[in-house]
Amino acid sequence: MTWKDILKMCLRNLRRRKSRTLLTVLGVLIGCCSIVIMVSIGIGTKVSQEEMLAEMGDLTIITVMVPNMGNDQNKLDDAGIRTIAQIPNVIAVSPKISPDELFNDIYFKIYAGIGDRYINDWLPVAAYDSSSLEKLGFKLVDGAYPATTKGVLVGEMFAYNFRDSYRPEGSNRVDRYANIDFNNFDPDQLKNNMPDPYFNPLTSSLTLVLEKEGIAKYSIPLEATGRVKEDYNKGYETSEGVLLDLAFLEQILKDSGAANNTTEKKSYQNALVKVNHISKVAEVEKEIKRLGFDTRSMESIREPMEKEARQKQLMLGGLGAISLFVAAIGITNTMIMSISERTKEIGIMKALGCYVKDIRIIFLTESGIIGFLGGVIGNVVSLIISLVMNFVSEGAGGSKLSIIPLWLIGFAVVFSIFIGVGSGYYPANKAVKISALEAIKSD
């Protein structure tokens, strides 16, 4: 028999008992739908967690710190930076200097506008290797990365931290939350609804002022080339501060008299490390700790959450699999009943010289078709249910509750066919063992 003949015979046999076929397909449909929906909820939960963590900062950034009880063996100097840069899966490393961590009595102010009209009395400042900023994943809201070591980047909310010296106290700052309706708060619209600041930091004149007890006030003009996207995992300076080049900060500290030995010692308290993929963060952290440094990253938060989401997926998928297992029993029952009703037909096929393997293939194909139909229809129903769930969830201000990727749809169909063929294996073997003579004699 050709495959075309076998397929025609299978479809005819399934149509012969429409009600029974439909009920069996319905069982597979429910099982398939259960698996897809349950797993999609697990995937949706995982994606929501990752989006929440991504809002907190770059998940592939590791902050390296010198231990409190550090020694010369784990000093974070230029040699230590080069060693970290050679760790597999590390794509960028930069020292990070925060002057307020080195000197408790040093303060930065900044003036902007004509006649230094706008004043920022408190300014977080951090210095990096400016040539590594793009590789480290610093994103720009506008402007460009510094072309020279004298260029600086400012934080995304930098301009909102200024007061207007020409206005009276109480009305001399721009309230960035003035246009926000907190009764219907939408975090995604927060930045889009902000009023304009007093000035554009990329086109206005900026003057950095350093103050420290025992030295004269020191000031230097700044050229802001870009505004960096807010990312607290990299540092608070990405919000309201200034990012300088390491060499530029050392020059400022020397010229102001705030520090005279920064160039000679070349030792850092912190460094930022960029990893090529989130899955490699734990591995790189482990290697950095082996070198004797402390680390901090989002991995300590992400890993338990991912583990919890994975456990939920397994649990929900297991519940769906139980439904499909029940459907498999229904397929087995249907095929056994079909064999009982078609005993004489089987005997006639054998008497006419039909191969035993063809008889087996007929019954396996029938059960496979039932699994296929249940899988396809189950996917369609699952997509509809998923759309409804997401519509309700997003309408209530939440995120997507269910996400069905293409691989899950393909897996559900293949798994349903596998369940169908597997369930029909025993009935098919039973059919081929029927004696042709006894089968023809039966009613």
For the stretch 56-71, pLDDT in tens is 667 888 999 888 655 5
Instruction: Give Cα 263 to chain centroid, integer Å.
Output: 40
Q: How many CB atoms lie within 10 A of CB 49?
A: 17
CA distances 28 to 141, 258, 368, 381, Å, are: 51, 75, 11, 12
Please give the helix or strand (H or E) that residue 92 lies within, else none.
strand 90-96
Question: Rounded distance, CA 102 to CA 72, Å?
Answer: 18
Q: Give strand pairing partners of 271.
A: 64, 95
How does pLDDT run across 12-32, given as a tens digit for each residue?
777 777 787 788 888 888 888
Question: Which whole number is the average pLDDT over 304-309?
Answer: 73
For a pLDDT cut of 90, what percent of the chain falls above it? 25
Identify the pLDDT of residue 437: 59
Q: Is the pLDDT of residue 268 over 80?
A: yes
Give the pLDDT score at 262.
46
Collapsing DSSP states into helix, strand and coil, what is residue 218?
Answer: strand
pTM of the predicted protein model: 0.64
Stated length of the chain: 443
Check pLDDT > 70 for residue 343: no
Residue 39: what pLDDT?
83
Backbone phi, psi, residue 86, to 5° = -90, -5
User: What are the start-end ranges of the E strands in 156-235?
Assistant: 163-164, 206-212, 218-228
* Strand (E) or helix (H) holding 342: none
DSSP-derived 3-state class of residue 274: strand
User: Does pLDDT of 93 surpass 90?
Assistant: yes
Domain positions in the chain are 3-54+304-441, 98-267
Segment holding 376, helix H or strand E: helix 356-395
What does the mean pLDDT of the chain come to?
81
